[in-house]
A and B are shown apart, each in its own frame.
Chain A
Amino acid sequence: MNKIKNKKFRWVSVAVFALALWLPLLQSCDDPDLQERTNFQELIGEYLENNPEDYSMLVDLLYRAESMSFLKAYGGYTLLAPDNQALSAWLAEKGLSSVEDVPVAELKDLVRYHVIRDTISSMEFVDGRLKTTNMFGHYVTTGTYYEDNQTLVKLNKYAPIVEQDVRLANGIVHRIGAVVQPELESAAEALDNDGRFSIFVEALRQTGWYDSLHSVVGPHTVFAVPDAVYQEEGFSTFEELLEDVAPETTNLTDTLNDMNRYVAYHILDNSIRYITDLISDRVGLTRTHNEVLTIRMDGTKVLVNDDVFAGIHEPGFEVDRPASDRTVLNGVVHEMKADFRIKERFPFAVYWDVAEQIEIMKMPGVFRRPGWVTLANGQLEKVRWYGENNTISYGAGLSGAEGWHVYDDRLDVNLRPEVVQWIEFDTPILVAGEYKMWVCTRNVWGDNNRKAIYYAYFNDEVFPNIINNRMTLNNLTPEDQLESEGFKLYGWNPGDIGHTREVDGEVRNITQLNYMDNSGASRMTGQLAGVVNIETTGSHRVKFVGITGTNGAWFDMIHFIPVEENQLWPRVNTKTGALVTKEEINAAYQEYAASQTGD
């Protein structure tokens, strides 16, 4: 190959020299290095032709499939190039002796399967799909394997890369040791023909999902459960599974039927997600109405529905990663090591302390200890805000305001159009249902202090109420009147128990004062953002978008309380974070009053 190149080069220089002799006569100021082509770098097609010992069969194939022309034109391609050995093996497997014996249409599909309209170097290979589909429309997967003291990269788990990253003028060639077979089976067929999924396939058939996975374009992402796993879990036939999943059922094709919902929960909603996609998505919407599943990585394990729910860790179900990421005609199939089911959940109130961010909690000497720290954008996994260089602060303790924030801490955000235009939080897991959302902040009355005023959004939908941190409350106004105006007192400071206030010459105790000292009540304000109908169980996004204000917003809590539940009680004990009822405070007050009179 080197020889050929050198010869060509010498010829060129002779030609250029000859030309140069003539040029002064014609046009003396012309560039003597005039060449017909912009460069002499090889194109992919030329490279293949220049290396017949490796690629002669591929060259034949490309000409026969009428595909050589674009590989000899400028552009940006990645060619997965089966060498002569690979193609011979492929032909032998088909029982054919030459490329000529393969129908042109099949060859064209084969070529489309090996060409990607993108330049993808080995540097960009991940443990999963390539970033761009091939011209056939499928993703080819890559993976690195250590076998027989050799590290190998394989495409679709079987075609080894023999030589990688041959860079040419119009793209990259990866030489491969086996032909990548186009995946022409649908998800349903692939599972059916595999033979290891008879129970799951039967479930697909009975519920009508087989047809969807067979004839619908999708793309589908299927979490298939092998028979072996069902057997381990005590089901050796579909009937036994049915008995467990949906015992009182007749019409399995009804989408509200438990068996149908069970099957649909194993299929993602019209999207193609390989394992690496799922890991970065962390959540997938299933075909069961409004049900999601979550994906988490724990060490090398990939787990479905490994969640902390209402403070309790629910162990997840492992995906068989080596067997997963199987491309099919209309999607991708993953394989489970354990089966998972839909969790029936009912809406419940979430009293969310927004300062409870795992990264802050892990800072020793910071979390819930007096002082302020600055947080850079990107430092918190579940909080994002505008401006890469903007910071927010976490603060605990504060002279003059002690005791009324829950745990005495809060996030301070310069929320206004000139600084942090917006801030967005990922919520804890919320069960599908209808909730009122309360934004609980420390406010300062009036416009003098210029506290922030802002919109609240839930999953990018704006709430009707504007949150105004210049509004404060009064411990004399009846609670139900406050609620009707969209406000509430959300905390109970045990330190307030002995506080009294004289009203019209009459001394009132704390149980007669909305259970809060007025200096707390005039600051710590829960404001109703509005009602939100959460359709899918899972983590959602709450966003605040600044309107005005030069003084930051101090976020303490956000409450999501089902609409049919009491919005005002229980409150949150600001010292312990525990929920506390009116009755408990009354009892505590009786005890306190008794101890006072006992003196």
Chain B
Amino acid sequence: MNRFKLYALMMIAVVMGACSDWLNLEPENGITVDDFWQSEQDVHAAVMGCYASLLGGSTHPMAEAVFNWGELRADMVAPYRAIISDYFQINQSEITPDNGLVRWNGAYFTINLCNTVLEKAPGVLDVDAAFSGEKLSQYRGEMLGLRALMYFYLVRTFGEVPLNLVATTSDSRVERQAKASQTDLYNQILADLEEAARLIPRSYSSVEENKGRLTWYTIKTIQADVYLWLDKFDEAAEACDAVIDSEQFSLVSGVDRDAWFRRLFVDGNSPEGIFEIQFSQERLNPYFNWFSSTGGANYRANVETMEYLFPVNIMALPEDADIRSDGAAYRSSDSYSIWKYLGADRFTAKPSNEATSNWIVYRYADVLLMKAEALANLNKGAQAQELIERVRKRGNAPSDTRVTATDQHSLTTYIVDERAREFAFEGKRWFDLLRNAKRNNYQRQDLITDMVLRSSPPEKLESALSKYQDPRFHYFPIHKDEIEAGFPLLEQNSFYVVSE
């Protein structure tokens, strides 16, 4: 099994040595490209390197951005002792183009590597007779899928970003680019996913690879997510069905709450996992240090939101509580630490050298709730309720958080809340709020207002509410270094341009 991880490590070493941190497009002049693309092994190593690039190799790798972009604007996390100023500013709704958390270089680093494989791998057919066209197609599917996933993160976070589909393999090919429109970006994402779905395998040779590399199921899951953002509910439900009907995935049982926590989050790569960014003893995750209270954590759970999602019933027995609440998502007696990435079980913390929890990008519960969201918007409320109930039942959700209504408005609130309970601190919250708030011309702006009420410091509350009324503020600014490098083509999000 370790071939996979070994390649990943090797590739990251190669890649890291090569990159210069200039622009968003990394030229590779440092390595001898000609010596590399000689065999199938080289192609394989390069593909593995693309996954490995999610972990590092840039100042803001995707493994960090998935949390930062998905959680920090929203109401699940709160500042704690070792507060970092970039987050403090986001929490205060004072977001500026020099905020380090808005750097996108991690995403473009991976995109460029994908582009490189897409461009170079076909040439290997000529030099390595053992390398087949079929194999090439499979790798191509993976690369298109991964690139689409990166652009999907970017378009949700920044609104509009440059669309770069050409490898920057030498300095001479570094290009300044203007932003592409949301429509163009989504069209490209959908086209890439469609092609990827045709090419990509359904499984590889090991569990780690099945969860750590993109598969046909991952592509379908991403498609479902993209369609939800585009309000194409029939297509979203159809993509979810492809995953559900395959019967390749199941919810990890919650009957034994300790086993559930260990299997799903501590061990990872469970039957529920669809795509997980892989961490291991050789490569520890960054989350442990962010959340561990022993080192003075950067973040903790926002008590107000936790109480909203998991209302406290003093009289209830601990065993009647939602298994996803105290002792799973957070731990109240450990200063409301973000326990999902800290706990060895529900009560004891892991030592820091066991920070091996994967980052779960998608899991089966997500597919069920995405389908529920699609159905809720297709006036199929009763069917949506069935799916939500499956997830809630596994989570032992008590009746005080149950909603029985089946209309679109009530279900939207319910699903957004249920997703927060289910995917607490898994990088989903802000995207869930924005996606549902903006639907039908910001019909559910109230979701964002409530979020601000729970998370803004009182002295900034009014300002934050005003800013969040401006849809341009729902997207991050482009980092000032990128703006300078892309001058004059790359234009800043106009919200962040303060001048006449």
Contacts and interface: CB of A to CB of B under 8 A. Distances in A.
Interface of A: 122-123, 125-128, 143-146, 149-151, 153, 161-165, 276, 279-280, 297, 299-300, 321, 359, 361-367, 369, 373-374, 376, 378-379, 388
Contacts of A297: 458, 461
A127 B92 CA distance: 11
A374 B333 contact: yes
B470 A146 contact: yes
B2 interface: no
Contact of A144 (B89, B458, B463): B463
B335 A376 contact: yes
A379 B81 CA distance: 11
A146 B462 CA distance: 10
B495 A151 contact: yes
Contact of A300 (B81, B325, B462, B473): B462
B246 interface: no
Interface string B70-90: 000000000001000000010
A127 B326 contact: no
B470 A280 contact: no
A276 B462 CA distance: 11
Chain A binding surface, main DSSP class: mixed
B467 A151 contact: yes
A143 B463 CA distance: 6
A144 B467 contact: yes
Interface stretch (B38-46, B139-147, B247-255, B312-320): B312-320
Nearest to B333: A373
Given A362-B307, A365-B318, A127 B463 contact: yes
A362 B460 contact: no
Looking at A145, A161, A364, A366, the one whose CB has the most chain B CB atoms below 10 A away is A364
Interface string B441-461: 000000000000100001111
Q: Which 10 pairs between the two chains have the least Cβ-Cβ distance? A: A365-B318, A144-B463, A127-B462, A373-B333, A126-B459, A146-B469, A363-B332, A144-B466, A276-B459, A146-B466
Given A126-B463, A364-B312, 12 more contacts: A123-B92, A127-B461, A151-B469, A153-B463, A279-B458, A279-B459, A297-B461, A299-B453, A359-B303, A361-B314, A362-B307, A364-B325
A566 B145 CA distance: 78
17 contacts: A125-B463, A126-B463, A127-B461, A127-B463, A128-B459, A143-B462, A143-B466, A146-B467, A151-B466, A151-B467, A151-B495, A276-B458, A297-B461, A299-B453, A365-B317, A365-B326, A369-B318
A126 B498 contact: no
Nearest to B318: A365
B163 interface: no
Contacts of A365: 317-318, 321, 326
A300 B318 contact: no
B94 A366 contact: no
B293 interface: yes
A149 B470 contact: yes
Contacts of B318: 364-365, 369
Nearest to B293: A376
Nearest to B497: A163
B96 interface: yes
Interface string B125-161: 0000000000000000000000000000000000000
Nearest to A369: B318
B34 interface: no
B244 interface: no
Interface in B405-458: 453, 458
Contacts of B245: none
A378 B307 CA distance: 18
A182 to B, nearest CB: 25
B94 A151 contact: no
Nearest to A368: B314
A145 B316 CA distance: 44
Contacts of B333: 363, 366, 373-374
Contacts of A374: 333
Contacts of B464: 144
Contacts of A144: 462-464, 466-467
A176 to B, nearest CB: 12
B172 interface: no
Contacts of A280: 458-459
Contact of B498 (A125, A128, A163, A363): A163
Contacts of B335: 376, 378-379
Contact of B94 (A123, A149, A379): A123
Contacts of A161: 498
A149 B453 CA distance: 21
B466 A364 contact: no
B256 interface: no
A127 B94 contact: no
Given A151-B470, A364-B314, A373-B333, A163 B460 contact: no
Contacts of A361: 312, 314
B259 to A, nearest CB: 19
B465 interface: yes
B457 to A, nearest CB: 9
B500 interface: yes
A276 B495 CA distance: 26
Given A144-B467, A146-B470, A162-B500, A127 B321 contact: no
Contact of B314 (A128, A143, A151, A367): A367
B397 to A, nearest CB: 14
Nearest to A149: B470
Contacts of B498: 122, 161-165
Contacts of A146: 466-467, 469-470
Contacts of B332: 362-364, 366
B334 to A, nearest CB: 8
Contacts of A300: 453, 461-462, 465
Nearest to B449: A300
A390 B317 CA distance: 30
B281 interface: no
